[in-house]
Structure 1
């Protein structure tokens, strides 16, 4: 009996000892497969990341198509030769500001025509460029290219002599902040539904990726906003499902005085102009504009 029990115990030990190498080999294979899958996913995101950030669509219509009789469509050539479409309108008088408007990441410039109508109907001037790579413009978008373009666009608009309000919408808020940080004569910087940084947005959406290492266009507005010398106005909606309102609140903390934040209760990402944004901007200019 004792010999049988000893033999049984020895067999069990041998079986257990033989099972461990199989388990280890299986575990190693699983880890390798997971690592390959992760590397493939990370590689895909790295290669295609700009298609997530810049989403142009549709054909660019003309101002006349939208009933904007006082607005002209011009083709301007950037320093590197890239041709960009810009919608422009003169202010009613030299003391009235021109709004340099940097649009968001989707659709194209003509999709913002209702906003532009509010601007020109108020007697303000307009200088609204398309982003390179979007309908109506040549080239490919990137942070470096768009920031360079934004500075050049601002200089063109400011050369006319009227005061300038730099307005950024969503993606364009990073460009507006960059201009405000580099140009001391900006009259007012308006940031509509801004982000602290594109890399912060990416980190929130893809926490499993090392986005700080992979992001080609981090657009760190939080590092630029404190260098803006002009008054800063941040407008954000509490129900923004694209860029959470916390981004606007945190960015406000990074900004230097004079600064103001307007949080619109119940407003989403794209309806701030329907819920008082432009009236608030005009009131801000009346109080602090130069």
Structure 2
């Protein structure tokens, strides 16, 4: 009996230590800041609390603007010219999250959403017709922006309904509901979105299960969202020109 109790104690201590490590290091597991391969020569700079946020931009006069929010380890700078070519009538703005590609500060859900809202509000003096694209982690930012500001179009690439739900699937024996700070509960915001929304799901997505993306789709008001599946995995390259074509056909 003493041996069994000792073994149970060590198992409990080990499990508790694992939970503590995951809690302390969770943002290092969610966010993977990368430098900009093509640092913007003329960045739009947002002066935020405790951070200076850089935005790669291709300015263009007119009402139409495209805002892009990338994945957790994505360097958005390399996509500027491609988005500009695929959306020639739009001004292009690609946000470098805090800690990414020249931006200072540390990333968190609250900070990234605040930065996205600040970028949108700054641009309303120049544009009134906004298309927002989010990819993977960036869908959590894009959804909250779309729920709080009027958009013309919203595109979500490999989206999820809740980062908490994704973590539960990947770590079913860890109490992530108690530990997670950045939850990105997109399904709570979906019903408030009025913009025409396109959800793009990778058929072999090994990170975000189809169940999680479909749950987000179901959270939208009927008739608001369209779901398209495309071949590939979570990190498969998806040309901006193809996204533009899908938008035109839906």
Judge same fold: TM > 0.5, yes or no.
Answer: yes
Which residue of 2 is the match for residue 108 of structure 1? 75
Which residue of 2 is the match for residue 57 of structure 1? 34
- For 1:105-184, list aligned pairs within 5 A: 105-113=72-80, 115-120=82-87, 122-183=88-149
The answer to whether residue 5 in structure 2 is matched with residue 31 in structure 1 is no
Q: What CA RMSD, in Å, does the superposition of the two structures yield over aligned residues?
A: 1.9
| Partners of 1:158 and 1:164 within 8 A in 2 | no
Name which one, 1 or 2, has greater alpha-carbon Rg: 1
Q: Secondary structure at the match of 1:196?
A: coil
| Partners of 1:58 and 1:107 within 8 A in 2 | no
- For structure 2, the residue ranges without an aligned partner over 5 or more in a row are none
Which residue of 2 is the match for residue 203 of structure 1? 168
Q: Secondary structure at the match of 2:198?
A: strand
Q: 1:283 to 1:94 in 2, by over 3 A?
A: farther
| Partners of 2:98 and 2:107 within 8 A in 1 | yes
* Higher helix proportion: 1
The separation in 1 between residues aligned to 2:62 and 2:127, in whole angstroms, is 7
- For structure 1, the residue ranges without an aligned partner over 5 or more in a row are 1-23, 65-71, 285-290
Which residue of 2 is the match for residue 94 of structure 1? 62
Which of the pair has the greater relative contact order for Cα pairs under 8 Å at 6+ separation?
A: 2
The separation in 1 between residues aligned to 2:43 and 2:92, in whole angstroms, is 11
